[in-house]
Amino acid sequence: MAGRALLTPQSYRHLTSYISLLIAVSMSTPRKETTFTIDTSSIKFGPGITGDAGYELDRLGVKRAMLVTDPRMANSEAVGIAIESLRGVGVDFAVFDQTSIEPTDVSFREAIKFAIDGKFDGFLPVGGGSCIDTAKAANLYSTYPADFLEYVNAPIGNGTPVPGPLRPLVAVPTTSGTGSETTGVAIFDFEEMGSKTGIAHRALRPDVGLVDPDNTRTLPKMVAACSGFDVLCHGIESYTALPFSQREKPESPASRPAYQGANPISDVWALAALEMVGKSILRAVLDANDSEARSNMAMAATFAGVGFGNAGVHLPHGMSYPVSGMVRNFRPDGYPEGKAIVPHGMAVILNAPAVFRYTAPSNPERHMRAAKLLGADTIGAGPEDAGDLIAERLIFILREIGVPNGLAAVGYSIDDVPSLVEGTLPQHRVTKLAPRPTDADELTALFTDSMQLW
């Protein structure tokens, strides 16, 4: 028939063969993710907002609360205000003040036992990320009792999802770093491994975060610095993480991870946090009386928490876990005496210059933008300069503050690199979000480069 193309038997066979090949490829090739979600806690920000703690717990129906803090915070103004707010609305409470700075599985278990014995129906952590994470774990295991490793991230634990809703939790952060008031993550040192791991699930997110800049006024210099480094790396890592669309699609919505990869909404929060950090971190650390800078860092911590709480972090955090877990004798100023510790933010930032030099080729534009927000001069720079620009800006900030010069300065040597690599490899929850494939050889090079920064 004129004007109509006919499908010949030969072309029909070719077409059906091609369709069969497409079907076979689609069935054998993992589908990529097409969806991202944004979850966060309800946040109230402002000087004096700690006094709303009792109101919020009462509003959520809590009759008996477990107030979670640490020995240094137990007699603080923040805890005192929180207690008065509970008394003011008639909420019964008991104080658990034995949170460990950089919690361990042992300290988590102590808090869990306290929670089970106390029969609490709500939780009020007042302190840094250690207190908030401890309260999350106490809430989870007292609500759904299980073997300790049941909910711990695979491959270290079973990675079982949280079975259902948890009891109300209102978080009052007193440092400007972890953003734990916004996230569904609880991190701890697993002592028998000598490394950090954690529990991650959306159900762990606090119901409310009360971010009170007044609570950061008395932070010692190095505590303020390490908290700020955590915020800084949360922002860069979530912005430079593997894009959500390059992740494998989960089998069901229930198995979609909290850490999903870089996405358009997390990018907004990460960039806003980096801009505030770039303008405020040196002022906040070097001048404790700069209330504007410390307030900005408190807000940046929350902004970055929303960003990384949905996008995730990657290599600087994954590598930090064995650095903190394998510490021998290092004791920084401003932290409790008698306990060797590489604070979390310090363990993260000491790896960061080497990591971002390594990841910059994956997306030079993003690394360049992060460097510029932190104060780097990017005029005339090309994509090939992105890694050096961001690394050099981070090193400048570290030197201005007076941070130890690399991993060697906190007690590690080249001989420790194999153990540091071994402690990083199981951290799939974060290392798989690196924008470049990274295995033992690459980690060996990164730890080696991080021994001395300048």
CATH number of the domain to which 119 belongs: 3.40.50.1970
Q: Quote the pLDDT of residue 437.
A: 94
Q: What are 50's two structure tokens?
A: 């700690």
How far is the CA of 143 from the CAs of 40, 65, 165, 168, 301, in angstroms?
21, 14, 9, 11, 29
Q: In terms of domains, do 207 and 228 share one?
A: no
Residue 32 lies in a domain: no
Q: Please report whether residue 30 resides in a domain.
A: no
Count of domains for the chain:
2
pLDDT at 192: 84
Q: Is residue 7 one of the residues assigned to a domain?
A: no
Collapse the DSSP code of 342 into the 3-class scheme (helix H, G, I; strand E, B; otherwise coil) and give the result: coil
Q: Cis before residue 155, ω within 30 degrees of 0? A: yes
Token pair of 426 as six digits: 């199981």
Q: Which residues contact 130 (CB under 8 A, 6 or more apart)?
A: 70, 99, 100, 101, 102, 103
Query: Among the three residues 161, 189, 216, which one is the final residue of a domain in this structure?
Result: 216
Distance, in Å, from the CA atom of 179 to the CA atom of 275, rounded to the nearest integer, reads: 16
Provide the CATH number for the domain around residue 306: 1.20.1090.10
What is the pLDDT at residue 233?
Answer: 98
Look at residues 241, 368, 375, 234 and name the one whose alpha carbon lies nearest to residue 300: 234
> Residue 44 carries which DSSP code?
E
For 53, the domain range is 42-216
Distance (Å) of CA 307 to CA 17, 121, 133, 260, 365: 46, 29, 18, 11, 19
Indicate if 435 and 385 belong to the same structural domain: yes
Residue 443 lies in a domain: yes
Backbone angles phi, psi at 237, to 5 degrees: -65, -45
Spatial distance between the Cα atoms of 365 and 102, rounded to a whole number of angstroms:
35
Predicted local confidence at residue 9, as pLDDT: 59
What is this structure's pTM? Answer: 0.88
Pairing of strands 208-211, 42-45: parallel
On the CB side of 198, CA atoms within 13 Å amount to: 25
Neighbouring CB atoms inside 10 A of 247's CB total 21
- Tell me which of 216, 243, 271 is where a domain ends: 216
For 234-272, the pLDDT digits (tens) are: 999 999 999 999 999 998 888 888 899 999 999 999 999
Element (H, E) at 110: helix 105-118
Q: 180 and 258 share a domain? A: no
Shared-domain flag, residues 265 and 321: yes
Tell me if 436 sits within 8 A of 364, measured CB to CB: no
Q: Are residues 402 and 336 in the same domain?
A: yes
For 64-90, b where at least 16 C-beta lie within 10 A, e where not — what string? Answer: ebbbbbbeebbebebbebbbebbeeee
How far is Cα 341 from Cα 229, in angstroms, rounded to an integer? Answer: 16
Count of alpha carbons within 13 Å of 86, Cβ hemisphere only? 23
Question: Would you state the pLDDT for residue 4?
Answer: 47
Residue-wise pLDDT for 99-143, tens only, equals: 998 899 999 999 999 999 999 999 999 999 999 999 999 999 999
Going from the C-alpha of 332 to that of each of 233, 317, 335, 342, the distances in angstroms are 20, 20, 6, 7
Residue 134, domain member (yes or no): yes
Helix (H, G, I), strand (E, B) or coil at 168: coil
Whole-angstrom distance, CA of residue 162 vs CA of residue 291: 39
Q: Is residue 245 classed as helix, strand or coil in its secondary structure? A: helix
Mind listing the pLDDT tens digit of every residue in the chain (454 residues)?
444 445 565 655 655 665 565 455 455 557 899 999 988 899 999 999 999 999 999 999 999 999 999 999 999 999 999 999 999 999 999 999 999 988 999 999 999 999 999 999 999 999 999 999 999 999 999 999 999 999 999 888 999 999 999 999 999 999 888 889 999 999 998 988 777 889 999 999 999 999 999 999 889 999 999 999 999 999 999 999 999 999 999 988 888 888 999 999 999 999 999 999 999 999 999 999 999 999 999 999 999 999 999 999 999 999 999 999 899 999 999 998 888 999 999 999 999 999 999 999 999 999 999 999 999 999 999 999 999 999 999 999 999 999 999 999 999 999 999 999 999 999 988 999 999 999 999 999 999 999 999 9
Report the distance separating Cα 338 and Cα 328, nearest Å: 12
Considering the domain architecture, whether residues 325 and 411 belong to the same structural domain is answered as yes
Residues 193 and 263 both lie in one domain: no
Dihedral angle computed from the Cα positions of residues 6, 9, 15 and 20, in that order, rounded to the nearest 10 degrees: 150
The confidence score (pLDDT) of residue 294 equals 95
Domain end position, chosen among 165, 181, 216: 216
Residue 190, both tokens: 């697993």
- Residues 112, 55 share a domain: yes
Residues 165, 145: Cα–Cα separation, whole Å: 13
For residue 122, report the phi and psi dihedrals to the nearest 5 degrees: -165, 160
Q: Tell me, rounded to whole angstroms, the distance of Cα 242 from its chain centroid.
A: 16
Residues 335 and 445 in one domain: yes
For residue 130, tell me if it sits in a domain.
yes
Instruction: Pick the closest to residue 330 from 407, 391, 401, 277 (CA basis).
Output: 407
Single-letter amino acid code for the residue at 440: A
208 and 290 share a domain? no
Is residue 313 included in any domain, yes or no?
A: yes
Which parts of 172-314 fold into alpha helices (H)? 221-240, 264-286, 291-311
Residue 107 lies in a domain: yes
Same domain, 188 and 66: yes
Same domain, 204 and 112: yes
